[in-house]
Amino acid sequence: MKKGKKEKIDISKMLPIPVTGVDMAFGGDIDKLLPDYDSIPEEFTVGCNHNKWNKIFSNWFFHGLDKDTDFIPKDGIDPKAALQHISAIMKSWAPKHEHKEAGCAYLLQLWFKDIIVPEKKTS
């Protein structure tokens, strides 16, 4: 590999990377955790809150998710590691918000069959 060139990875085969408590608090190594913006499918990068995964990210980022949210992982995915990986990205100040949203939404879609967020109860 030439100096200065990033190795191209197949993000469709990307698996969660273990992160530390410090990564969880302040964001981890974004170059390892977050796919390059140009490699994220357009359905996650164009517009705002335009698909289920982007909506889940936005809700989680701006409001937090209910403790009863049900994360249904795909086969071979450790859900705790996946959620910690995504949380470390969310807490990083390094990427632009649009990149953070697109990358996290795409990773959620790669790693989970479904995420069921309970309806907010109103009184």
Domain for residue 102, yes or no?
yes
Domain for residue 5, yes or no?
no
CA-CA distance, 121 to 61, in Å (whole number)?
20
* pLDDT level of residue 12 (50, 70, 90 thresholds): low
Element (H, E) at 88: helix 79-90
What average pLDDT score do residues 71-96 get?
A: 93
Domain for residue 81, yes or no?
yes
What average pLDDT score do residues 102-122 get?
A: 89
Domain for residue 9, yes or no?
no
CA-CA distance, 121 to 22, in Å (whole number)?
34
Domain for residue 123, yes or no?
no
What is the rounded average pLDDT for all residues in the chain? 86
Domain for residue 14, yes or no?
no
Q: Which residue has tokens 């990427």?
A: 95
Tokens found for residue 30: 């974004």
Question: How many domains are there within the chain?
Answer: 1
Whole domain around residue 95: which residue ranges? 23-116
Model pTM?
Answer: 0.84
